[in-house]
């Protein structure tokens, strides 16, 4: 096997660095929306490469113009009675985050604090968030609610859950990102073409140019000009989008100056941070970025998961089971009403999503009401959905 030259090794390293930048580690409880060819209109579900109990390694879009939105879901159930550290729903994954199911009254949450990614009441763990920023934000939300009077708290909880479906805020952030990134997109595509096809064709002598010191110097000068121009544009966009995040900006620019793969994937990086400080319902993100047909398909999955969540749909251990179940029931009733109203505003009926699928063949007798997997016997259980009991396919 012939050995590679130094230049060929540089190309190999750059390809590996670029491939590394296309990977996304999504922690449990985070819904991922990945664009394709720079647009969300024809997006496909993110490709899961591997994962564990803490999250999944996903493949994002491969073009410099592709974006990835990370939607942080609410990790607890909340009502006027208190909170339960458990949420049955897991609409975008078959792996529900591990949660204690512990119950907390509002009086216990006045000293709620974030420690790394954990949200704690004193020394007792409430939940683990997707990032330290989100943990600090959510601890502040719970602490603020705990300090209110009962009626004011009820009103604030209502506003909190209304905010989960705020598509206007998502649209405004996306519009701002799209307004700032066209120059980055153009420079990044030019740099990718300059490093990849043009560089390879020039090195192997395919182009009708004499490869001498002057040609090599010109190539390198143009490369660094594109590289550093892209970095400058990324710095400007980050300043406009995330003014207070100086540490994150320093890390991004430092990495961009060390590796050209980072500015090539800068639009994807900026989009990942776009919703980093917000708790949102995945339906709100889908309604903002998806076509009506794609939203309808996604809504069907969300509704099925809501009505028939991963089993078990109640916490297996709790210090106060009766209060925990009451909080969960209060929250589910409220959430069902909100989801129904949200879907009705987009001409989607809640009950429409609960219709059984068409039989795949004459041998299919039952189906999982959550994932629609079909079985050739009655009274089966779906291992994919935690042992969820199946329903008859033909009534």
Asked whether residue 31 carries a pLDDT value surpassing 80, the answer given is: yes
**Cα–Cα distance, 395 to 393 (Å, whole number):** 7
Better pLDDT: 117 or 284: 284
Q: How much is the pLDDT for 1?
A: 44
**Sign of the CA dihedral 286, 290, 296, 300?**
negative
Angle 120-69-119 from CA coordinates, rounded to 5°:
0
Query: For 85, what's the count of Cα atoms within 13 Å in the CB-facing half-sphere?
Result: 26
Token couple for 360: 């795949």
In terms of Cβ atoms closer than 10 Å to its own Cβ (0-12, 13-18, 19+), residue 86 is buried
Token couple for 333: 């009733």
Asked whether residue 118 carries a pLDDT value surpassing 70, the answer given is: yes
What single string gives the DSSP state of each residue in 170-187? HHHHHHHHHHHSHHHHHH
Strand partners of residue 83: 78, 104
Backbone angles phi, psi at 311, to 5 degrees: -80, 145
| Residue range 96-122: mean pLDDT, rounded | 85
Helix (H) or strand (E) holding 109: none
Tens of pLDDT, residue by residue over 330-364, are 999 999 999 999 999 999 999 988 888 888 888 88
Kind of pairing between the strands at 68-72 and 55-59: unpaired
Better pLDDT: 139 or 5: 139
Token couple for 393: 């396919």
Token couple for 39: 């647009």
Q: Report the share of the chain in percent with pLDDT over 90.
A: 46
Token couple for 158: 């209502």
Most confident of 187-196, 208-217, 324-333, 381-390: 187-196
Nearest to 305 by CA among 283, 323, 284, 325: 283
Q: How much is the pLDDT for 361?
A: 84
Buried b (16+ CB within 10 A) or exposed e, 171-209: eebbeebeebbeebbebbbbbbebbeebbeebbeeeeee
**Cα–Cα distance, 393 to 128 (Å, whole number):** 38
**Cα–Cα distance, 41 to 72 (Å, whole number):** 21
Q: How much is the pLDDT for 160?
A: 92
Q: What is the mean pLDDT of the chain?
A: 88
| Cβ contact 29:72 at 8 Å | yes
Asked whether residue 230 carries a pLDDT value surpassing 50, the answer given is: yes
Q: ω before 256 within 30° of 0 (cis)?
A: no
**Cα–Cα distance, 373 to 368 (Å, whole number):** 5
Asked whether residue 320 carries a pLDDT value surpassing 70, the answer given is: no
**Cα–Cα distance, 47 to 61 (Å, whole number):** 10
Asked whether residue 384 carries a pLDDT value surpassing 60, the answer given is: yes
| Residue range 264-277: mean pLDDT, rounded | 92
Instruction: Provide the 10 A C-beta neighbour count for residue 240.
Output: 12
Strand partners of residue 121: 112, 124
């Amino acid at each position: 096997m012939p050995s590679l030259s130094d230049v060929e090794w540089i190309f190999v390293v750059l390809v590996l660095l670029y491939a590394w930048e296309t990977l996304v580690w999504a922690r449990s409880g985070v819904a991922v929306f990945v664009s394709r060819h720079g647009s969300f209109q024809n997006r496909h579900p993110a490709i899961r490469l591997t994962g564990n109990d803490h999250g999944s390694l996903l493949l994002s879009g491969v073009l410099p113009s592709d974006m990835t939105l990370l939607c942080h879901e609410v990790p607890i159930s909340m009502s006027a009675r208190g909170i339960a550290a458990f949420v049955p729903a897991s609409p975008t994954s078959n792996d529900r985050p591990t949660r204690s199911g512990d119950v907390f009254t509002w009086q216990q949450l006045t000293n709620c604090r974030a420690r790394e990614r954990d949200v704690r009441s004193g020394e007792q763990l409430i939940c683990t968030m997707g990032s330290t920023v989100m943990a600090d934000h959510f601890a502040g939300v719970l602490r603020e609610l705990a300090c209110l009077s009962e009626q004011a708290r009820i009103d604030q909880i209502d506003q909190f859950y209304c905010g989960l479906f705020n598509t206007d805020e998502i649209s405004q952030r996306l519009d701002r990102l799209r307004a700032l990134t066209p120059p980055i997109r153009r420079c990044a595509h030019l740099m990718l073409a300059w490093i990849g096809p043009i560089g390879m064709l020039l090195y192997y002598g395919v182009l009708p140019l004499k490869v001498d010191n002057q040609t090599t110097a010109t190539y390198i000068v143009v490369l660094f000009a594109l590289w550093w121009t892209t970095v400058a544009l990324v710095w400007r966009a980050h300043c406009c989008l995330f003014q207070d995040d100086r540490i994150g900006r320093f890390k991004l620019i430092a990495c961009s100056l060390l590796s050209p793969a980072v500015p090539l994937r800068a639009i994807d990086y900026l989009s990942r941070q776009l919703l980093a400080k917000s708790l949102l319902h995945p339906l709100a993100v889908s309604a903002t970025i998806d076509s009506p047909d794609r939203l309808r398909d996604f809504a069907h999955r969300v509704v099925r998961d809501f009505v028939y969540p991963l089993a078990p749909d109640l916490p297996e251990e709790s210090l106060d089971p009766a209060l925990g179940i009451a909080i969960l029931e209060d929250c589910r009733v409220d959430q069902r009403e909100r989801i129904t109203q949200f879907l009705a505003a987009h001409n989607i009926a809640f009950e429409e999503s609960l219709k059984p699928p068409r039989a795949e063949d004459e041998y299919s007798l039952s189906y999982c009401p959550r994932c629609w997997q079909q079985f050739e016997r009655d009274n089966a259980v779906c291992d994919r959905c935690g042992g969820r009991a199946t329903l008859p396919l033909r009534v």
